[in-house]
Structure 1
Amino acid sequence: MLDSKLRFFLQKCLVLEQAKQVHAQLVVNRHNHLESILIHQTLHFTKDFSRNVFNYAKRILQGLQISTRKDSSFSWGCLVRFLSQHRKFKETVSLYMEMHSSGISPSSHAITSVLRACGKTENMIDGNSIHAQALKTGLCGCVYVQTGLVGLYSRLGYIDMAKKAFDDISEKNTVSWNSLLHGYLESGDFDEARRVFDEIPEKDVVSWNLIISSYAKKGDMSNACSLFQAMPLKSSASWNILIGGYVNCREMKLARTYFDAMPQKNSVSWITMVSGYTKSGEVESAEELFRQMFKRDKLVYDAMIACYAQNGKPKDALKLFSQMLESSSDIQPDEITLSSVVSAYSQLGDTSFGSWVESYVTEHGIKFDDLLVTSLIDLYMKGGDFDKAFKLFSKLHKKDTVSYSAMIMGCGINGKAMEANTLFKEMVEKKILPNLVTFTGLLSAYSHSGLVQEGYKCFNSMKDYNLEPSADHYGIMVDMLGRAGRLEEAYELIKSMPMQANAGVWGTLLLASGLHNNVEFGEIACRHCVELETDPSGYLSRLANIYTSVGRWDDARKVREAMEEKKLRKTLGCSWV
């Protein structure tokens, strides 16, 4: 009787706290044989990834290992699939290997899930090993495993092996066809992919989505839209693909039109639009959508926090992060969330948050991925904590342009030209291409260190990497020359700019003129600043100070009187450099 009641409860939707209560009854009444059902149900009804749920299920599994191997294999498979479904692909492979090393035979869904994970992480070595295990255990005759092999080799670019695995399937289903279609699309053989699409006996939504997505990725929204209109049945993913295509083409009005027409929006729909507004700098539009959402999951919060952090609104990002933590115990920040939050603190110059993040990550079992580590490096470098930054940098699994640029930028801000130059040389030797941010950091380092010749050489080398200096790079060069007293060179450089110099560049020359009490270039710079800015009071005040420094009291008085007549007020603490 009790067994039936417990089975009844296990068939219901279980959240973590309910699962713990039911589990307690299982243990007290010695119904441990039902633990596999508990794990399956708890994972099945956990729609969003939860580290707490994963850790809890794994603790139960450690007890199942000494129970029947069949139940243990099924439960391990459920947990492997849970990680794969929530895109924790590296963890999926690690958990599968842990299961295998424990002597537990894999289930078909465990192998299918881990093959998908190997494909997503481009892990050919483990993929081949798991293929061999599938052969050894006799699971290669399972259509799901065979389809998983097609998917693995397709994603890794071994299209001939994928085609062979496809041909070996005696009863091909639509998923098998879709895996081969995906393989040809990934290999860039669009003509063959279109042929496979046309041959699929029974196309499903995934078949249509794959081919529409391929057109959208190429920016061919005309064909993508035509196929979308021809679809017999559209899913939310179909709408999201089309919307995402318009977002990537910077066609936000068309994206919004289809978004508004979408019958049932999901989290991805909202996130796609918020991310599009983030890239286009339309923060208010992103906020409008965020306010319209009735249910906000972690990914939606992540998108909006990133929007604030990437558009110079760090305080808003931190305020929303605080609201996220208070909103629900089921919504927990992960490495993606924390990367944006660290970026916000970095903009505010508050390095104390770094220690909190490192403690939080360790306490909650969150993996330190390269994105989060790079964000922490940027935080520590900007705050002058070089030891922590270099320590984290040395532990990076894969150093790329972003991580090197964060280090070089930090060196630049703090005037560490030697360290910045060493990092740049190391970067080039490893054939990692620098970007505009890299050169901003390097030039800043030379400027703060007074290394004019090195700065010139660096500035001129940008063309070697097919990079065109921006107004910011010219501004740094003007600052460097101005600090060295080479004001005429700075002025000539401004005149040679391929784009119109902004008030920031002219303001830099004005500041340097004040530093060296040079009236001639001070007047030139100030005149341009007045033409470019609606409120030039700060620039006029700076010019008045230059007049005063050389004893031209009447000119200084006239400038200040003109400021009063126009009712201009100096903005205290204003910086234009």
Structure 2
Amino acid sequence: MMVTKLTSFLNHQLTIKQVKHIHALILINGLNHLEPMIISQIITRRSNCSQTHIRYLRSIIRYSKHPNIVSRTSMVSFLYENGEFEEALADYLDMQRSGILPCGSSVASAIKACTRLGNRNGGKMLHGQVYGYGICGDVRVGTALVGFYEKVDDMENAKKVFDEMSERNAPCFVINRYLESGNLRMAERVFSETGKGDVDSWDSMVSWYTRTGDMEKAIATFGPMAVKTSFSWSAMITGYVDSGNMEIARNFYDVTPEQNSVSCVKMINGYSNDGDVESAREIFDEMEVKDDLLYNAMITCYAQNGRPDDALQLFDEMLQPNVNIRPSNMTLATIIYVCSQSGNLIFGSWIHERLMKQMRIEMDDHVCVALIELYAKCARLDKAYGLFHGLRKKHAGVYTILILACSRNGWKHDAIKLFEEMLEANICPDLVTFSGLLTALNHVGMVQEKSIHLNHDH
């Protein structure tokens, strides 16, 4: 009942204050699998966010036990657009380390962040990666690189990148520069005068309208396109999903000449947020060639909508010899969380102790935190502590998991020690942390003493 109500609320546009209230309920009730919907609420807001809101969103994404691929790739652009250039670049690099393949928009945003920071080495490094990712023909990336080399006064490389974009991209280059500077009126003027014979210019305008939520202009531009590219089809689908109109998004998806993984993942995420698991599975089943992104999206959909058995079954299918898709760390973190929610210690520990070793998958913080929660909930505090000490970056969420577990299992002094360690590290506890601490203090008869101590300190 609680999941249904919260999901229903999160399917409507909310204020930041309302989002935070719902997030608190999610944390208190242990419904962390709904966090991607919180992220989506903030990241798709059309209004500008304050620095406080940006920090709040960044902390959710960085420490979420259920990272969402679309959220992670969108976060880089979100941070850049809100002036967080250093964080945009850091998040891009963290995304790479997590094994998430960046899209053209996230790479372009990372390059533009280097431009604003004057990070010459970073920009050149990203230029080298462009070829490895096979997106050297992406006009957004090319435009960002030209702007970067102009900023660092390397006109030779700027000209080289511009020439590689080819003559047909010249109108698109001008249009994109106007769009990036926020001058939509001039971008529309150039498009009207010189860009209508250029396929990439059409793509740029359609993409801009969908990203800014102006679906009326998007469809008005998309309709007359002589050559509708896969990029524009994907942009239209994304725009309608983000605006909450899954029916129109599905109509576009069904008639897309070449359905791709990006659009499929977007549709699955959209249906997942609506609680329409059957439609999400239908989209998943229709794709003949499936990759780890698709499996991760569908497994996450099952996890978000309270269907752990289906999530485990799909994960098992993913590992079968006839499928044989190597799971990403994001997928492992999600499936371990499913094990945690259902109390399936055997399967979760099998992933940790056998599967990851067999596949030579390196532990990252997302998987580590998921395993800590699993072992903590299943009263294996020895294993939880072992992983906790090896965690590269500890945050409030993981401290809270252990404090609650220690309180439940009679390790009262350990709970108090963890809380004190948390304060020493300047990590702010939340309501759930205090709940676990008070339980521990109550059992050792220290509530009044600690209350006085905390009031004195703060």
**Aligned counterparts of 1:258 and 1:125: Cα–Cα separation in 2:** 41
**Aligned counterparts of 1:398 and 1:152: Cα–Cα separation in 2:** 33
Shift of 1:318: 0.6
Kept in 2: contact 1:309–1:344 (CA 8 A): yes
CA spacing shift, 1:210–1:356, aligned 2, 3 Å: same
Matched, 1:443 2:435: yes
Shift of 1:89: 4.7
Kept in 2: contact 1:346–1:379 (CA 8 A): yes
CA spacing shift, 1:323–1:439, aligned 2, 3 Å: same
**Aligned counterparts of 2:450 and 2:256: Cα–Cα separation in 1:** 53
Q: When the two structures are aligned, how many residues end up with a matched partner?
A: 329
CA spacing shift, 1:209–1:150, aligned 2, 3 Å: closer
CA spacing shift, 1:414–1:299, aligned 2, 3 Å: same
* Aligned-residue RMSD, C-alpha: 4.8
Give me the TM-score of the superposition, normalised by structure 2.
Answer: 0.56
Residues 290-326 of structure 1 show CA distances to partners (whole Å, capped at 9, x for unaligned) of 3444443332222111111122211211111112222
Shift of 1:420: 6.1
- SS at structure 1 position matched to 2:320: helix
Corresponding position of 2:366: 371
- SS at structure 1 position matched to 2:221: helix
Specify the code of the residue in structure 2 equivalent to 1:446: L
Matches within 5 A, 1:122-201: 124=119, 126-127=121-122, 151-152=144-145, 160-161=151-152, 166=158, 171=163, 173=166, 174=168
Specify the code of the residue in structure 2 equivalent to 1:405: G
Percent sequence identity is 32
Specify the code of the residue in structure 2 equivalent to 1:439: L
Matched, 1:213 2:211: no
Kept in 1: contact 2:416–2:441 (CA 8 A): no
Corresponding position of 2:222: 228
**Aligned counterparts of 1:454 and 1:127: Cα–Cα separation in 2:** 52
Matched, 1:308 2:306: no
Matches within 5 A, 1:77-476: 89=96, 119=111, 124=119, 126-127=121-122, 151-152=144-145, 160-161=151-152, 166=158, 171=163, 173=166, 174=168, 204-326=198-320, 328-352=322-346, 353-354=348-349, 356-357=351-352, 359-386=354-381, 388-389=383-384, 392-393=387-388, 395-396=390-391, 404-415=396-407, 418=416, 421-422=419-420, 425=423, 429=426, 438-447=430-439, 449-450=441-442
**Aligned counterparts of 1:335 and 1:326: Cα–Cα separation in 2:** 18
Residues 110-145 of structure 1 show CA distances to partners (whole Å, capped at 9, x for unaligned) of xxxxx9897499694643565999xxxxxxxxx99x
Structure 1 gaps, min length 5: 1-86, 93-114, 134-142, 458-577
**Aligned counterparts of 2:436 and 2:197: Cα–Cα separation in 1:** 57
Kept in 1: contact 2:253–2:263 (CA 8 A): yes
**Aligned counterparts of 1:192 and 1:372: Cα–Cα separation in 2:** 47
Specify the code of the residue in structure 1 equivalent to 2:283: L
Kept in 2: contact 1:159–1:183 (CA 8 A): no
Which protein is bigger by CA-based radius of gyration?
Answer: 1
Corresponding position of 1:463: none
Structure 2 gaps, min length 5: 1-93, 100-106, 129-135, 453-458
**Aligned counterparts of 1:91 and 1:410: Cα–Cα separation in 2:** 24
CA spacing shift, 1:313–1:232, aligned 2, 3 Å: same
- SS at structure 2 position matched to 1:224: helix
CA spacing shift, 1:169–1:340, aligned 2, 3 Å: closer
Kept in 2: contact 1:411–1:419 (CA 8 A): no
Kept in 2: contact 1:378–1:407 (CA 8 A): no
